């Protein structure tokens, strides 16, 4: 007789759900990331997940000038910028499963339906879509072994798109032991300008909205301009039916990196742990506090120009902004960014005059490209530190071909398919691709750095891996001419086919990288390229 002996391993698996009400843009991502940071600092294994209730399958096809930057994970998923924020606060790489969109949920369910997995059944939002949502919410914990999954539901409670998610979360609360889930609701407390009074009514309404879908929050985090006094806290507690200590102040702060420290002061992480029946622990935030101190008290300032197509929406470049903050804090330098539309440079390079350094970031499409090429050429001639990222490297190569090699019509085939000198071109494997979604070169790829190059010196090692998001590449046919004229390939793919870094050795600092170093810069581990670039800019100034 066979005995079925199954050993049940008891491991902790808890979920914290973060919803938002009243307004969008209150900082749910910063709240989720900060809570993740605080729980991780207490020794818990944490993962963070973002739900985007859009029908896009991933963020790759969304316009960064509407939604902000497209962030890329090491395993190549194109995500919302919040995933970048999570990685920076958690100091840990996340993966494709940390990002869910409605498009992906429906895609999975519809594929299953086509395969016949639901044969005979009517496929419905409840239970089929909600089951798929729950499966995707459990996935990152299963993959990473995390004990706590913090899940941020994008959008605002009451949005039609968000309903299936809230229903899935409600089901999880019912299905799991009561202390396996915790709901945190972020709201906004406006101040009436005439009387200076803080108003709680919008918060009450948004909690009511949440209750209509069967969710009672455990915590209210109230975003506010001025501190919440006891009276306001009591009012929120009473009308929203949360215990008084569970009303948490979310005061506006000079930098998002202070948010974890403010939440700690409110005792928030230990109160959340209590709801989840997890033991409170002491967290060590010493290094983080040191970073915040350095960030807030720089010794000097350096002004760096960012030349891009549309520089109005800074969220489109958020990882670059953050990477400069990390590098600046490491050096005790405040990096002041000047945003320069490339169309302005096309009129006159005077707008580049007072800059200590110039960065040209990634981008797509022809518009504004000539201004970027002029910028790259200006920085080379004027010996201004230049940092080109992705498209910023490609324009540096085009500018070099045109002005140092005399190939006047050099271009990328992205902008001029018939150019006689395609110094930037598609690889054969990209040529046949028609579909745009998820077909670029995405995620982390290794590169080998050339001995004695500046890149090698900056990284302090010969092998690196960096994250990519592009379709076009440096055309190797031209590399010999480039190197003879003074622009070298200092980083190549291990097979030597792809140029990953170019630099001009005879220049104070001129580096272009085909990848996105900004994605992996962290407060406590600034990216070496950003640190060295800021250092070079600061030295030029002094
Ligand atoms: N448009 C360029 C390409 O596809 C650069 C992309 C980028 O800067 N991220 O190769």
User: What is 232-273 written as a DSSP string?
Assistant: HHHHHHHHHT--GGGEEEEE--SSGGGHHHHHHHTTHHHHHH
The CATH number assigned to the domain with range 298-541 reads 3.40.50.880
How much is the average pLDDT of 252-275?
Answer: 96
Read off the pLDDT of residues 378-426 as tens digits, 9 standing for 90 and up: 999 999 999 999 999 999 999 999 999 999 999 999 999 999 999 999 9
Helices (H), 42-189: 64-67, 81-90, 102-115, 130-144, 163-175
Nearest CA to ligand 1 atom 3: 470
The residue to which tokens 């800019």 are assigned: 537
Cα–Cα distances (Å) from 532 to 326, 463, 523, 526, in that order, read 12, 18, 15, 10
Nearest CA to ligand 1 atom 7: 362
Q: Indicate the pLDDT class of residue 180, thresholds 50, 70 and 90.
A: very high
Q: Indicate the pLDDT class of residue 309, thresholds 50, 70 and 90.
A: confident
**Is residue 182 annotated as part of the catalytic site, yes or no?**
no
- Across the chain, mean pLDDT equals 94
Read off the pLDDT of residues 268-277 as tens digits, 9 standing for 90 and up: 999 999 999 9
Does 542 have pLDDT greater than 70?
no
| CA–CA separation, 456 and 439 (whole Å) | 30
Catalytic residue among 147, 390, 414, 466: 390
Q: How far is the CA of 363 from the centre of ligand 1 (A)?
A: 5
Q: Indicate the pLDDT class of residue 5, thresholds 50, 70 and 90.
A: low
Q: How far is the CA of 466 from the centre of ligand 1 (A)?
A: 15
In the three-class reduction of DSSP (H, G, I as helix; E, B as strand; rest coil), residue 170 is classed as helix
Domain boundaries, the chain: 14-288, 298-541
How big, in percent rounded to 5, are the helix, strand and coil portions of the chain? 45, 25, 35
CB of 471 closer than 6 A to ligand 1?
A: yes
Read off the pLDDT of residues 329-379 as tens digits, 9 standing for 90 and up: 999 999 999 999 999 999 999 999 999 999 999 998 888 899 999 999 999
pLDDT at 27: 92
473: Cβ contacts below 8 Å, ≥ 6 apart: 424, 425, 426, 427, 441, 498, 499, 514
Answer yes or no: are the C-beta atoms of 55 and 103 closer than 8 Å: yes
Q: How far is the CA of 469 from the centre of ligand 1 (A)?
A: 7
Helices (H), 334-413: 342-347, 369-382, 391-403
Read off the pLDDT of residues 493-530 as tens digits, 9 standing for 90 and up: 999 999 999 999 999 999 999 999 999 999 999 999 99
> Is 298-541 in the same CATH topology as 14-288?
yes
Going by their DSSP bridges, the two strands 14-20 and 488-492 should be labelled as unpaired
Read off the pLDDT of residues 9-27 as tens digits, 9 standing for 90 and up: 557 899 999 999 988 888 9
Percent of the chain surpassing pLDDT 90: 85
- Whether omega for the bond prior to residue 127 falls within 30 degrees of 0, making it cis, is yes
- Shortest CA distance to 16 belongs to which of 291, 218, 264, 156? 218
Ligand 1 atom nearest the C-alpha of 390 is 8
Does 532 have pLDDT greater than 70?
yes
137: Cβ contacts below 8 Å, ≥ 6 apart: 15, 49, 100, 149, 151, 168, 172
pLDDT at 433: 72
CB of 147 closer than 6 A to ligand 1?
A: no
pLDDT at 302: 97
In the three-class reduction of DSSP (H, G, I as helix; E, B as strand; rest coil), residue 536 is classed as helix
Does 65 have pLDDT greater than 90?
no
Does 118 have pLDDT greater than 90?
yes
Beta strands in 272-401 (DSSP E): 300-308, 333-341, 357-360, 386-389
Q: How far is the CA of 365 from the centre of ligand 1 (A)?
A: 8
Answer yes or no: are the C-beta atoms of 510 and 456 closer than 8 Å: no
366: Cβ contacts below 8 Å, ≥ 6 apart: 414, 415
CB of 388 closer than 6 A to ligand 1?
A: no
pLDDT at 77: 96
How much is the average pLDDT of 64-68?
Answer: 83
CB of 470 closer than 6 A to ligand 1?
A: yes
Does 64 have pLDDT greater than 90?
no
Nearest CA to ligand 1 atom 5: 391
| CA–CA separation, 409 and 99 (whole Å) | 42
Does 6 have pLDDT greater than 60?
no
pLDDT at 541: 60
| CA–CA separation, 19 and 185 (whole Å) | 5
Q: Indicate the pLDDT class of residue 147, thresholds 50, 70 and 90.
A: very high
Cα–Cα distances (Å) from 310 to 340, 346, 370, in that order, read 9, 14, 14
| CA–CA separation, 353 and 540 (whole Å) | 13
Percent of the chain surpassing pLDDT 70: 98
pLDDT at 24: 81
Does 7 have pLDDT greater than 60?
no
| CA–CA separation, 65 and 489 (whole Å) | 32
| CA–CA separation, 31 and 183 (whole Å) | 13
Q: Indicate the pLDDT class of residue 63, thresholds 50, 70 and 90.
A: confident
Does 437 have pLDDT greater than 90?
no
How much is the average pLDDT of 165-174?
Answer: 97
**Is residue 390 annotated as part of the catalytic site, yes or no?**
yes
Interior CA angle at 95 toward 292 and 40, to 5°?
A: 40
Q: Indicate the pLDDT class of residue 32, thresholds 50, 70 and 90.
A: very high
pLDDT at 367: 83
| CA–CA separation, 484 and 452 (whole Å) | 17
| CA–CA separation, 204 and 191 (whole Å) | 15
Q: How far is the CA of 450 from the centre of ligand 1 (A)?
A: 24
Going by their DSSP bridges, the two strands 357-360 and 300-308 should be labelled as parallel
Nearest CA to ligand 1 atom 1: 364
Catalytic residue among 185, 516, 527, 537: 516
Does 439 have pLDDT greater than 90?
no
| CA–CA separation, 358 and 367 (whole Å) | 19
Class of domain 14-288: alpha beta
């Amino acid at each position: 007789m066979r005995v079925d002996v199954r050993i049940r391993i008891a491991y902790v698996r808890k979920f914290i759900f973060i919803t938002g009400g009243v307004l969008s843009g209150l900082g749910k991502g910063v709240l989720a990331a900060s809570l993740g940071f605080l729980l991780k600092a207490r020794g818990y294994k944490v993962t963070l997940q973002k739900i985007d209730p859009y029908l896009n399958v991933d963020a790759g096809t969304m316009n960064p000038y509407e939604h902000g930057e497209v962030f890329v994970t090491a395993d190549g998923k194109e995500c919302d910028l919040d995933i970048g924020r999570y990685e920076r606060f958690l100091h840990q790489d996340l993966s494709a499963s940390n990002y869910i969109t409605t498009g992906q949920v429906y895609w999975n369910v519809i594929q299953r339906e086509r395969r016949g997995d639901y044969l005979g059944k009517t496929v419905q939002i409840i239970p089929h879509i909600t089951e798929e949502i729950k499966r995707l919410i459990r996935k990152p914990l299963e993959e990473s072994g995390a004990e706590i999954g913090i899940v941020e539901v994008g959008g605002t409670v009451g949005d039609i798109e968000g309903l299936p998610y809230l229903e899935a979360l409600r089901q999880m609360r019912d299905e799991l032991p009561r202390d396996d889930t915790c709901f945190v609701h972020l709201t906004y407390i406006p101040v009436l300008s005439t009387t200076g009074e803080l108003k709680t009514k919008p918060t009450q309404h948004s909690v009511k909205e949440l209750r209509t879908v069967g969710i009672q929050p455990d915590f209210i985090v109230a975003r506010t301009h001025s501190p919440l006094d006891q009276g306001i806290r009591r009012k929120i507690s009473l009308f929203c039916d949360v215990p008084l200590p569970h009303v948490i102040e979310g005061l506006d702060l000079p930098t998002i990196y202070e948010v974890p420290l403010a939440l700690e002061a409110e005792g928030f992480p230990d109160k959340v742990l209590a709801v989840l029946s997890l033991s409170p622990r002491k967290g060590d935030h010493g290094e983080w506090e040191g970073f915040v101190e350095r960030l807030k008290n720089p010794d000097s300032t350096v002004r760096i120009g960012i030349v891009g197509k549309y520089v109005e929406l800074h969220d489109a470049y958020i990882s670059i902004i953050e990477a400069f903050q990390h590098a600046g804090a490491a050096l005790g330098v405040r990096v002041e960014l000047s945003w320069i539309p490339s169309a302005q440079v096309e009129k006159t390079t005077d707008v580049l005059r007072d800059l200590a350094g110039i960065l040209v970031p990634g981008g797509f499409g022809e518009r504004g490209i000539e201004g970027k090429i002029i910028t790259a050429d200006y920085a080379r001639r004027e010996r201004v530190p230049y940092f080109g990222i992705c498209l910023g490297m490609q324009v540096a190569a085009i500018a070099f071909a045109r002005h140092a090699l005399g190939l006047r019509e050099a271009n990328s085939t992205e902008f001029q398919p018939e150019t006689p000198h395609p110094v930037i071109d598609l690889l054969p494997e990209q040529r046949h691709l028609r579909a745009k979604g998820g077909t670029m070169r995405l995620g982390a790829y290794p590169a080998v750095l050339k001995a004695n190059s500046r890149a090698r010196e900056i990284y302090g090692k010969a092998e690196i891996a960096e994250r990519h998001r592009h379709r076009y590449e440096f055309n190797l046919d031209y590399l010999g001419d480039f190197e003879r004229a003074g622009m070298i390939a200092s980083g190549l793919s291990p097979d030597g086919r792809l140029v990953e870094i170019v630099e001009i050795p005879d220049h104070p600092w001129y580096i272009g990288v085909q990848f996105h170093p900004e994605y992996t810069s962290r407060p406590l581990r600034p990216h070496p390229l950003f640190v060295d670039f800021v250092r070079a800019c600061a030295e030029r100034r002094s």
